[in-house]
Amino acid sequence: MKYDSILERKFHEQFSDLVYHENNLKHYPITFYDLEGTPFKASPDFYCKKRNIVIELKGSQLNTNKTKLKCTQKIQYQLNRFGSKEEKYYRLKNGFNQSIFKQGIVNRSIRSSNYQYQFLLVFTDDTKLSTQSKNKMKAEKIDWCFANEWQEYEFNKH
């Protein structure tokens, strides 16, 4: 099986009952829109049949870029200023997929549409999250937990 990251492979080894697909877009046949109205697609990393949950796995704190354009601009600025040697890092640090606001939009949209699955953002256990980040995720109404907690996670009724 081909994974997008080592992180996903290790998580799947730990929780082998989860379904991992290289193309999870079939789980989200929804078009989402950022705060400027720019459309985007999203796909989860894993699916838990037993609990009917789709999981987005993260190994680092999310960024606070509010729009897809802002993320692209920040990445481009860093590439222009520092070169492409650290491009993967810039994309991880400022990419739209790593945005609290993007994850919030996906979480709230799925919940409000009575989508067939529940969405859960799961951080690896070694992820360091600041109090500010936790508060922003709460404000964005994101259901999240650490990897060792997801199986017992109780969804909030925001």
Q: Which residue has the tokens 């600025």?
A: 77
Q: Which domains does the chain have, with CATH numbers?
A: 6-62+103-152 (3.40.1350)
Predicted local confidence at residue 68, as pLDDT: 96
pTM of the model as a whole: 0.90
Instruction: Tell me how far CA of residue 20 lies from CA of 40, 49, 120, in angstroms.
Output: 21, 11, 15
First to last CA, the chain: 37
Tens digit of each residue's pLDDT (9 = 90 or more) over 32-55: 999 999 999 888 899 999 998 999
User: What is the C-alpha separation between 98 and 112, in angstroms, rounded?
Assistant: 22
